[in-house]
Structure 1
Amino acid sequence: MADSSGTTNRAARLELDQRVARELRDRLPLVAERTVSAITAEVPSYSGTLTGQMRDKIENAVRIALGTFLQLLERSQGGNDPSTPLVPALEAAYALGSGEARSGRSVDALLAAYRIGARVSWRELAAATVEIGLPAATVAEFAELMFAYIDELSAASVAGHADELASVGRARRRNVERLTQQLLAGEPEEVLSRSAERADWPVPETLTVALLPQAKLRGALALLDERTLESSEELPAGEPGEETAVLLVPDAHGDRRRQLARVLRGRRAVLGPARPWARVCSSYRRVLRVVELGIAHPAEGEPLDTEQHLTELLLSADVEALTDLRARVLQPLAALPAATAERLTETLRCWLLHQGRRDDVAADLFVHPQTVRYRMGQLRQLYGDRLTDPRSLLDLTVALALPVGDTGAG
């Protein structure tokens, strides 16, 4: 770290001979001890932490920092390059800030320690300069230069602290992104557990996938669990050029699913099922399948809940098989005119779904109950005993579960 400050230049103007500097240097052990005592007493983050070897280490660091300052003054009087001792001091201060960030202490605690250190150091050294008999102007210049030096050290420490946090933040973001992709890809649980540990991500009981437009993401994230993971992709079923956000929401199972649905209301979201956290890939596949089918969102703005469309998902799993089954069970109607076959097929579908309740079938078809009775008479003639055979009724129900003409393929 290069020295670009004016402290070294100003040091040359201070009339402080080597004898005085040596006398001040003799006071450094006491200054360091009292400085560390004040920091531990006044800064809660350091209370109880600066003990034993750690205290000795910090006291030594204070002695070195103040010793570097005095060395700077001595060199300035000797005509040598005064920047030489300051460069390692700034580098050490930068490293101190970085280490404090890794230890979890805030920059506020670090700056508080510097403020207290500056106060105590100056109090002790000022008393020494008065005892030595330095002129008042020299003492004032000494004080100004010392505080400027400590300001430079604190600025270097703040830079080290900020850079360390930024580096840690980037590393964690990379680890979280890797974990998210591994979860969506269905990696083995042991791989996921290691990735979760590296990402410092607390493992939940379940994860639920939600898809929504990227433009509607921020407002939702503010209301969701802070452990929520996110990814993004462009889905063919979305609006042209629209990027879609993929959210993995922790512990949104049971009654909390309704709360998640409320958060996603009005955001054109697709909500997958809750799954054990390491098996969230199945929730993701479920959501993608619903998007592929092109199932419409509820008109009232509720999220499209995949749990409400399990029949369509099941029947669309093998579209050719469903088509073949439908053709087979409708074979008795094959010889009829197309319009007649369509009316009877829809009547049979409603009859199956309403378990033969004639008035309900009539209401669903918007016809008179006698019309339903007439059509069912035709169907009984065409199907015979198959309308009372359990296996045939199962085939008919599955084949006609979706509206006529809809194979579930979207």
Structure 2
Amino acid sequence: MQQQLDSWIRALVRWFGYVPNRDLSGWILLIISIIAGVGITFLLVQITRFILRHRYEPVLSLLRTYLRVAFYFWLPSLFFLMGTNLQSDRFIRRHPVADKSAEILFLLTSIWLALRLLKVGELLLVRSYDISSDANLSGRKFVTQVQFFRRILSTLIVLIGFSLLLLSFQGSRKVGVSVLTSAGIVSVLVGFAAQKSLGNLLAGIQIAFSQQIRLDDAVVVENEWGRIEEINLTNVVVRLWDRRRLILPITYFVETPFQNWTRSDATITGAIMLYLDYNTPIEAIREKAKALAEADPLWNQQVFVVQVTDTTPTSIAVRILVSANDAPSAFDLRCHIREAIIAFLRDEHPESLPQSRVILHESGRNVPGPTIAAQPPENNQNLNT
């Protein structure tokens, strides 16, 4: 094949009056292979676009969105590598840069394409799961595991690709041999240096299986309430209630106690505390709060309690317990009932609001005090004795 190509190129060049270079056919073959790769890539992209224009296919749409750019580079690099493999040994010896460049480009684009394929596979697996709902615990568990293992595989692909890239150079092979001869010392040093990284990796694997946290879990960490936004290999991103991001090492959720409000069930009970006067009609508050809870769609009809939980010298503490399907709903429900109860007491029972009493004694006047009931004679005698 090489001889035929050389003869064709010599004929063409002589036809135009030029003397051919002995390596010209090799370079033309490489250029033709790259052009063929670009042309086939463009053709495949146009076919995909034509299919999606007439019928929507979710898989093709994801492939086109996430693989198009990587595929534009991968297929030409594959044809470029094939073109170098078809070259003669003389061409490779005279131009080793072309052969080495083809290997490096194909390796880099293959790593890029593999990472994009893993992302597409993750999206295909989790597309039917809605993690925005707190009640969908199994779905959030599955999505968390899929994302974690996708990151693990991505890391392994990058490490393997980087290792193959080093092995393609002669100098790197010598370095690898020298490292292997001192493997004992190197392993100890790497063990101490990578202790934290290995700890984070093991903590991530433990979380992926034990499910202490999942994506979109409602948690309280560092006295802050938020939701799990990302679970990476080394850290966890918590989206706080005011849209700040709290970034914690993943080992935090293995070594430090924290609150998970959606660990096994997303429902939660909220408390409304009211500090009122002793003249407060408790039964009226109980009836009003019950009517408010029944009229509010946020109440899940599981928990409702109105109790006097404490007293002070000047007031009583009334606690209203209501339940909701998730923490944000419970917070809104508490606010609704609190506002309505305050308005109800202000309008219907103003004597229930906290009051401060001051008793003034006028000079020269006897202020009636507590009276003592008359005692029977025998009791009086006992008191005198």
Structure with bigger helix share is 1
Q: TM-score, normalised by structure 2?
A: 0.28
Structure with bigger strand share is 2
